[in-house]
């Protein structure tokens, strides 16, 4: 019986998901940032596998978030793999005061890691010095097109729009994988209550990469001076054919009056003095933009894998000397401008003197001068078969250069290794099953290492089997039940990993009430603002888990349309309850003083009742 339990304990351990040393940290380049500045957020994910998951950024309504690039390192030491990836984001604040970056999590399908929450103080413009790494902001020049006349009155007189948005790509036609730079400019001649919120567009037959930071400046149009903010995005066509940049939206809070001029020397001081008044919210959208993705020309090399850009390639080994049977890491690095994420591993030439194992890759992406560039390294594990001076021939990497409109090929230099004879224990063995009688083990090469003679312990196996067979039938029942449970757990874990959205949908209610309990605890200790923040983030997460999409990045109207499309049976009353709670939470979350009458405890109760209603309305 004891032997049965030991075997089944091992089976249960195998059925449990494997634990990986997954970790995540998050840090900002500073603890205080002016309202017109940028904040750099670096999230580092580490693990003991060849790849790690990307972090899941929470809803951050107090910041506009832009992806700034990534850098990755991978090491293989004594057969152990360690990977670390740093993801960089640029955050532009939208409101003055103490703002928080919620906890950032990563999940690899088996294990979850969470970084701590970060608090940042957002000050008035000029209240904190810019860091050297931040792009310089253009100076605000005082003056008006016509002194003494308000901007809104002059705009109406000139027939110009006070606020408008433009989106323009640098080209309307490109090859698949060729960068298209989309420029989005938001113009305003009137003061705003906060920095605008940018809702990026969706795309057809395109993938996108942010090109931060946001640029600011001024210009004069139709005799009226505008302040503008510019966001750039890199686009890459997927396949030949039509493509589309769908409408994008900017949400701005516009005061009902114009107490300050945006070009007054004290514009920001005056603007922040009136920041308590939220004004009215308006959405500004662009029209859809059609693009043409051209087909690549004929005549591609035989081993061309679709790489488009301008690249160079190099190769190196982690050592110049090795022994037969020992692993050597060959790194092939591709550098240049282009969509490196889509670049695949180049094919190695024939290597009869080596055994080639699986390939691992690491990616570093830079975004400088509005160009996506960087390097991608492919690591091949080679095991020498024979001794002597061995040369790895040049590795070729063909690509299409859109600047010249022609295919090109980059090649590495040869890599030479001095291979010495390995230890006897590392030789391979050959078994001859056709022999009439068992013969001695014959050494023949270096394919199978470390053969252990088990003949000394063989008599123990029949004895163990005899003891197990001698047990009564009822003694076999508990191990059989445990074995069935082990297999059920293994299948459940596989199903859960393959269907994360389903489990998020089902677990949304449980997570919401856990957050409500946390908020009520904060209310009891007098931390009402923190409690409202917890409820707000929880509400956004609940709707996102139910809809399977990130609701926090949408406007209230678009979120309602998404819910109705996802759940056709939802009633108008339920949608109205969602709008009311959403509005109340935003008012209290972003302007606590303006919503003092709406108590945090009442919001928690409304949220609890709404969850019970939505559990009936939002059925899959």
Mean of per-residue pLDDT scores for the chain = 77
Residues 57, 158, single domain; the answer is: no
243 forms bridges with which residues in the sheet?
Answer: 291
Looking at residue 446, its pLDDT comes to 42
Looking at residue 400, its pLDDT comes to 95
Residues 282, 411, single domain; the answer is: no
Which segment, 45-59, 346-360, 415-429, 489-503, is predicted with the most confidence on average?
346-360
Which segment, 22-26, 313-317, 327-331, 477-481, is predicted with the most confidence on average?
313-317
- The answer, as to whether pTM is greater than 0.85, is no
- How do strand 354-368 and strand 371-384 relate by DSSP bridges? antiparallel
Nearest by Cα to 113 from 61, 17, 43: 43
Range of the domain at 517: 500-617
CATH number of the domain residue 335 falls in: 2.60.40.740
Q: Is residue 365 part of a domain?
A: yes
Nearest by Cα to 542 from 590, 495, 610, 589: 610
Distance from C-alpha of 110 to C-alpha of 500, rounded to nearest angstrom:
11
Q: Is residue 345 part of a domain?
A: yes
Query: How is 380-430 classified by DSSP, letter by letter?
Result: EEEEE-S-EEEEEPPPEEEEEETTTTEEEEEEPPPEEEEEE---GGG-EEE
Looking at residue 287, its pLDDT comes to 92
pLDDT reading at 97 higher than 80: yes
Residues 155, 289, single domain; the answer is: yes
Please give the tally of structural domains in the chain: 4
Q: Is residue 179 part of a domain?
A: yes
Instruction: Please enumerate in sequence order all residues whose Cβ is within 8 A of that of 10, keeping only pairs 6 or more positions apart, or say none.
Output: none
- Tell me how far apart the 2 most distant CA atoms of the chain are, in Å: 110
Residues 319, 399, single domain; the answer is: yes
pLDDT reading at 302 higher than 70: yes
pLDDT reading at 19 higher than 70: no
Distance from C-alpha of 609 to C-alpha of 419, rounded to nearest angstrom:
72
Residues 165, 289, single domain; the answer is: yes
Q: Is residue 66 part of a domain?
A: yes
Secondary structure of residue 538 in the 3-state scheme: helix
pLDDT over 90 percentage in the chain: 24
Q: Is residue 212 part of a domain?
A: yes
At residue 374 the predicted structure's pLDDT band, cuts being 50, 70 and 90, is very high
Q: Is residue 303 part of a domain?
A: no
**Residues 515-541: what's their mean pLDDT?**
85
Residues 180, 287, single domain; the answer is: yes
Secondary structure of residue 355 in the 3-state scheme: strand
Residues 505, 589, single domain; the answer is: yes
Which segment, 82-96, 227-241, 586-600, is predicted with the most confidence on average?
227-241
At residue 499 the predicted structure's pLDDT band, cuts being 50, 70 and 90, is low
At residue 483 the predicted structure's pLDDT band, cuts being 50, 70 and 90, is confident
pLDDT reading at 314 higher than 90: yes
* Single residue among 420, 445, 475 that ends a domain in this structure: 420
CATH number of the domain residue 201 falls in: 2.60.40
- Residue with the bigger pLDDT between 335 and 540: it is 335
**Residues 346-354: what's their mean pLDDT?**
90
pLDDT reading at 515 higher than 50: yes
Q: What is the pLDDT of residues 420-430, one digit of tens each?
A: 987 644 444 33
Which segment, 119-128, 209-218, 369-378, is predicted with the most confidence on average?
369-378
pLDDT reading at 343 higher than 60: yes
* Single residue among 420, 454, 482 that ends a domain in this structure: 420
Residues 562, 516, single domain; the answer is: yes
Determine the angle formed by the axes of helices 500-524 and 477-498, rounding to 10 degrees: 90
- Residue with the bigger pLDDT between 465 and 265: it is 465
Query: Using the 8-state DSSP alphabet, how is residue 11 labeled?
Result: H
Residues 521, 611, single domain; the answer is: yes
Is-contact 424 407, C-beta < 8 A?
no
Nearest by Cα to 371 from 339, 323, 328: 339
Residues 316, 411, single domain; the answer is: yes
Query: What is the phi-psi region of residue 140: left when phi exceeds 0, alpha when psi lies from -120 to 50, beta otherwise?
Result: beta
Distance from C-alpha of 366 to C-alpha of 376, rounded to nearest angstrom:
11
Residues 405, 371, single domain; the answer is: yes
Looking at residue 576, its pLDDT comes to 84
At residue 312 the predicted structure's pLDDT band, cuts being 50, 70 and 90, is very high
Q: Is residue 438 part of a domain?
A: no
**Residues 434-461: what's their mean pLDDT?**
46
Residues 261, 327, single domain; the answer is: no
- How do strand 388-392 and strand 415-420 relate by DSSP bridges? antiparallel
| φ and ψ at residue 169, rounded to 5 degrees | -80, 155
Q: Is residue 8 part of a domain?
A: no
Task: Measure Cα distances from 317 to 281, 364, 377, 414 in Å.
Answer: 59, 20, 12, 11
* Single residue among 397, 420, 443 that ends a domain in this structure: 420
Nearest by Cα to 261 from 153, 164, 161, 122: 153
């Amino acid at each position: 019986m004891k032997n049965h339990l030991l075997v089944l304990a091992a089976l249960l351990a195998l059925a449990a998901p494997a634990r990986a040393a997954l970790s995540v940290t998050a840090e900002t380049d500073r603890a205080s940032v002016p309202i017109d500045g940028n904040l750099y957020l670096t999230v580092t994910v580490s693990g003991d596998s060849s790849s790690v998951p990307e972090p899941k950024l929470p809803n951050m309504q107090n910041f506009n978030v832009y992806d700034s690039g990534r850098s990755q390192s991978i090491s293989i030491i004594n057969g152990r793999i360690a990977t670390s990836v740093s993801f960089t984001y640029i955050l532009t604040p939208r409101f003055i005061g103490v703002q928080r970056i919620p906890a950032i999590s990563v999940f690899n399908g088996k294990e979850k890691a969470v970084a701590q929450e970060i608090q940042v103080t957002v000050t008035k413009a000029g209240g904190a010095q810019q860091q050297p790494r931040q792009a310089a902001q253009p100076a605000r020049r005082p003056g008006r097109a016509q002194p003494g006349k308000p901007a809104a009155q002059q705009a109406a007189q000139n027939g110009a729009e006070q606020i408008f948005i433009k989106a323009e790509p640098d080209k309307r036609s490109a090859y698949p994988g060729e960068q298209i730079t989309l420029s989005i400019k938001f113009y305003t001649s009137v003061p705003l209550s906060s920095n605008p919120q940018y809702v990026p567009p969706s795309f057809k037959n395109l993938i996108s990469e942010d090109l931060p930071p946001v640029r600011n400046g001024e210009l004069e149009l139709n005799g009226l001076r505008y302040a503008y903010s510019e966001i750039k995005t890199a686009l890459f066509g997927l396949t030949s054919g039509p493509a589309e940049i769908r409408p994008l939206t900017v949400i701005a809070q516009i005061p009902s009056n114009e107490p300050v001029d945006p070009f007054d020397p004290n514009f920001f001081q005056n603007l922040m003095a009136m920041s308590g008044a939220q004004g009215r919210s308006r959405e500004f959208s662009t029209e859809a933009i059609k693009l043409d993705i051209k087909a690549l020309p004929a005549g591609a090399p035989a081993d061309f894998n679709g790489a488009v850009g301008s690249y160079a390639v190099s190769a190196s080994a982690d050592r110049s000397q090795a022994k037969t049977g020992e692993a050597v890491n060959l790194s092939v690095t591709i550098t240049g401008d282009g969509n490196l994420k889509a670049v695949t591993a180049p094919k190695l030439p024939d290597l009869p003197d080596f055994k080639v194992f699986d390939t691992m890759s690491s990616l570093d992406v830079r975004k400088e001068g509005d160009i996506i560039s960087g390097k991608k390294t492919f690591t091949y594990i080679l095991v020498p078969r024979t001794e002597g001076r061995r040369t790895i021939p040049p590795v070729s990497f063909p690509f299409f250069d859109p600047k010249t409109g022609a295919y090109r090929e980059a090649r590495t230099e040869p890599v030479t290794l001095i291979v010495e004879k390995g230890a006897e224990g590392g030789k391979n063995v050959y078994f001859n099953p056709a022999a009439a009688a068992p013969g001695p083990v014959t050494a023949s090469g270096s394919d199978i290492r470390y053969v252990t003679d088990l003949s000394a312990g063989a008599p123990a196996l029949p004895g163990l089997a005899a003891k197990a067979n001698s047990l009564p039938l009822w003694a076999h029942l508990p191990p059989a039940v445990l074995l069935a449970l082990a297999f059920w757990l293994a299948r459940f874990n596989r199903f859960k990993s393959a269907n994360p959205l389903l489990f998020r949908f089902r677990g949304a209610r449980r997570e919401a009430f856990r957050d409500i309990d946390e908020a009520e605890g904060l209310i009891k200790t007098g931390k009402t603002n923190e409690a409202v923040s917890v409820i707000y983030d929880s509400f956004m997460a609940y709707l996102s888990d139910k809809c399977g999409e990130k609701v926090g990045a949408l406007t209230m109207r678009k979120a309602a349309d998404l819910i109705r499309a996802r759940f056709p049976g939802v009633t108008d009353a339920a949608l109205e309850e969602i709008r009311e709670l959403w509005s109340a939470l935003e008012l209290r979350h972003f302007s606590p003083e303006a919503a003092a009458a709406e108590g945090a405890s009442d919001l928690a109760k409304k949220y609890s009742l709404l969850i019970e209603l939505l559990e009936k309305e939002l059925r899959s």
